Chain A
């Protein structure tokens, strides 16, 4: 899943005929000043300025300003750009036109195992969250298009009446078309409002999750995907992602500040069991990591270096199940190189390494790990006869 920020999200909706407010995404007050000279709506509308970053609670942070004129928006942009919130620096601000409205509604399309669901409610904003039972849904199988009648029926069920039910059905229909054509996994507009000037339904805010795996057939996805957990990716995380996008197999790395148990396990499945074991033992994870699909040794080496730079770590868990085709000796070679570099940089003091693994060339790989003892590493190596997560128990036992 890949989250898309509001700007490109609204862009996709506009592409499929959904009304969205006029908006611009700028990186500086100067840029907005220039755009203001060229765009009439910026001069004459009431404006909203929001920090265009993957941040939660922007309102509370003062990163949303409403009811501005152009000068106010320029001032707000100046104030927001460059502001530091945790690990995120605000680099973009989205300026959109305020839409005068009274009623707020809700519309979403979400992916299900069978196909998708179109969700409609005749309340919006925070009201819908506390009245989830008012959300009505139309279930669709994969390949099935919602008929205008079915959409109108669900709109009526949700409490829309008169011409508005048809309008809402039309809006939901366009949402579905956008969802279907853009390989979306989740589209949510909250609120949908009636624009007082022309009576059209307009999407005021958009949550857009796309299927990153489908990028190959969307040449117009020229935007970056945003982190989904309320902070920007760190430099090290981005470097690992860059490696991941280049290689056969995969390497993954997410930092969790404040932890002391570093993870360097193999396998998308096993890595989670290792993380569970650390938490179950009362340990604090310093990161999530994973390598799989027989990645090249240099990629595992990069991952290892990043893991070793995590501050304050006491243990590194080099776990893994019995691999199918990942070459244990080769991937361990990358890890060993990474460890050596980290040690040369003075990073492995008071760090214990715990290894458990099986798979092609397991003996050679484990022997090479064991040999690190002679180089002064505090390393403990186990083979397939030690159950998967027992190294976590051993690592966290004596602390």
Chain B
């Protein structure tokens, strides 16, 4: 047996994410005691019509969300209890809604910081209706082996350690949430555990006091003793003492009260709980409460630490008198399925990875590039080209190499609005398309005819150098197998009108004391081809390619240098158009050569 909540308790939770977390805890308990989930519905207007997925064992249970309590109880007629976990400013309205529903008999409120007046109104309303309003600030109610309402009892391991899977003989009433767990644990270690434990909340005027619950415990034959954990402030402990002393009670009352330190502390000091405050004239002090409880015949250990042994004594007495029997422990208990992460940590499963990476890892407090923390790279003076070197070639390049890459990027960042890439981005930007799509529209243009020749140029120059080909051999090889040499030739530039970017880059690399076999070979190729035709010069793609191969970048990464650099320009074009609030553009008819057949009659469909 138990009080307030039991195997028939069916719950609606009023609340959003906080309510879902409570439901998860409740589902863990249901799983432990091998009973179906006791949460029937949620009420949370913003998500009405959706469902919350609550893990139960290794599966998920979909619990519907309604706009109102009335809708929830209409669709789930077994609901008899509400758990309220909404904001303090809406708590009273929510609590009233639940109390006013004829299906609901018990309302427990987890919400903290509810105005005192609201709590009083809820408490009075519940009493008028003959219902129970528990809280606010209540951690919940748990009946061992039967029902958990709220988050009382803590994590799954603690439920097991505290033997909450089966009934004991002790009732528990506490103001504090943390201490409710502590007492449940103590009852399970020093005695046979609990029947029902209730957190009434630490506010000044909780909806239901100790006495109402003591009455219920008195009428529950399974409960042999009740432990109350009080604290200074208010008069609930005094009322409990009065109740206990009024006549011979079946249950044994045990109590501790906190707040003796108040005697040596500044008057008016505020403790953790709103209600934990001595009155103006010393009423409600820990000593007054403790004395009243002792006088009523309750067992009141001097300290919290002495409570365990006192519970043990009481239990031994019950065993001796035959009032209780040693509990029978179940042979086995369900184990909460581990998450994959937990199981891996415990070396219990092996998972075949879906992808493999060899360059970066951000599982710590910052990203590491090939093992080097980003902040350390920054602080030691490394720059963007070094990050490129790490992520594209897994090595820390030299200062000189970084300088070359920086210059390549600066030279290739943009080439005006008329080229395919920029034009693509601008047309998209003018059509009102967002940045990432517009930039992608420009990037799509990069290919064999626009900016995408770097990789191929690098590949063939490298092939020639690796195979020690002469320029003539190379040109024959290319003509036979691949066609025109990538990296050679320009639409507008020529020997007489050289590309300044090429001159700049070649000049700089040549001024350095480094070996440049590919670049040297490419320049030799240019000497021959440019004689054949004026514009068959080494273009910027070919120059970049040769230099990057000379630095040692893998051939497959080479187009990346153009893509990366040009992205800077494409973003610039998008922002430029956006800031000008440019209008949709459309090609003028005169820019089109209409070579399609003239207008004619459509023949009948056959």
A256 proximal to B (CB < 8 A): yes
For the complex, count residues of B whose C-beta is within 8 A of A.
68
In the bound complex, do residue A228 and residue B268 qualify as a contact, i.e. CB atoms below 8 Å apart?
yes
Task: Give CA–CA (A124, B151) in the complex, Å.
Answer: 50
Task: Give CA–CA (A143, B266) in the complex, Å.
Answer: 35
Once A276-B260, A285-B261 are accepted as A-B contacts, the answer to whether A293 and B124 lie under 8 Å apart by CB is no
Task: Give CA–CA (A384, B186) in the complex, Å.
Answer: 10
Of chain B, the residue at the smallest CB distance from A56 is: B267
In the complex, which of the residues B25, B267, B273 has the most CB atoms of chain A within 10 Å of its own CB atom?
A: B273
Once A250-B272, A278-B261 are accepted as A-B contacts, the answer to whether A273 and B235 lie under 8 Å apart by CB is no
Task: Give CA–CA (A250, B270) in the complex, Å.
Answer: 14
Of chain A, the residue at the smallest CB distance from B257 is: A276
Shortest Cβ distance from residue B185 to the other chain A in the assembled complex, whole angstroms:
5
* Range for the number of chain A residues in contact with chain B: 35 or more
The 8 Å CB contact of A272, one of B205, B231, B267, is: B231
In the bound complex, do residue A389 and residue B178 qualify as a contact, i.e. CB atoms below 8 Å apart?
no
B105 proximal to A (CB < 8 A): no
Task: Give CA–CA (A321, B256) in the complex, Å.
Answer: 15
Residues of chain B contacted by A141 (CB below 8 angstroms): 124
Residues of chain B contacted by A279 (CB below 8 angstroms): 260-261, 263-264
In the bound complex, do residue B260 and residue A280 qualify as a contact, i.e. CB atoms below 8 Å apart?
yes
The 8 Å CB contact of A270, one of B123, B178, B261, B302, is: B178
Once A214-B117, A272-B261, A276-B286 are accepted as A-B contacts, the answer to whether A324 and B153 lie under 8 Å apart by CB is yes
In the bound complex, do residue A111 and residue B116 qualify as a contact, i.e. CB atoms below 8 Å apart?
yes
Task: Give CA–CA (A272, B174) in the complex, Å.
Answer: 14
B229 proximal to A (CB < 8 A): yes
Residues of chain A contacted by B272 (CB below 8 angstroms): 250, 252, 267-269, 271-272, 290, 292
In the bound complex, do residue B277 and residue A1 qualify as a contact, i.e. CB atoms below 8 Å apart?
yes
The 8 Å CB contact of B274, one of A1, A280, A321, A387, is: A1
Contacting chain A: which of B107-115, B354-362, B371-379, B535-543? B107-115
Shortest Cβ distance from residue B210 to the other chain A in the assembled complex, whole angstroms:
12
Of chain B, the residue at the smallest CB distance from A357 is: B178
A185 proximal to B (CB < 8 A): yes
Residues of chain A contacted by B286 (CB below 8 angstroms): 276
Interface string of A312-337 (1 = CB under 8 A from B): 00000000111111100000000000
The 8 Å CB contact of B89, one of A143, A217, A272, is: A217
In the complex, which of the residues A185, A279, A321, A389 has the most CB atoms of chain B within 10 Å of its own CB atom?
A: A321
In the bound complex, do residue A183 and residue B235 qualify as a contact, i.e. CB atoms below 8 Å apart?
no
Of chain B, the residue at the smallest CB distance from A216 is: B89
In the bound complex, do residue A213 and residue B115 qualify as a contact, i.e. CB atoms below 8 Å apart?
yes
The 8 Å CB contact of B259, one of A211, A252, A276, is: A276
Q: Besides A142-B121, A183-B117, A272-B261, 20 other CB < 8 A contacts?
A: A114-B120, A142-B123, A217-B89, A228-B268, A256-B266, A267-B177, A268-B176, A268-B273, A269-B179, A269-B231, A272-B232, A276-B258, A276-B260, A279-B263, A321-B178, A322-B154, A358-B158, A359-B155, A359-B158, A360-B158
A-B contact pairs, 19 of them (CB 8 A): A1-B277, A113-B235, A213-B114, A228-B268, A229-B266, A252-B272, A254-B270, A267-B179, A273-B256, A276-B259, A278-B261, A285-B264, A288-B269, A292-B177, A321-B182, A322-B185, A358-B181, A388-B182, A388-B304
Binding site for A on B (CB under 8 A): 21, 25, 88-89, 112-118, 120-121, 123-124, 139, 151-155, 158, 161, 174-182, 185-186, 202, 204-205, 209, 229, 231-232, 234-235, 256, 258-261, 263-274, 276-277, 286, 302-305, 308
Binding site for B on A (CB under 8 A): 1, 111, 113-115, 141-143, 180, 183, 185, 211, 213-214, 216-217, 228-231, 250, 252, 254, 256, 266-273, 275-280, 285, 288, 290, 292-293, 320-326, 358-361, 384, 387-390, 393
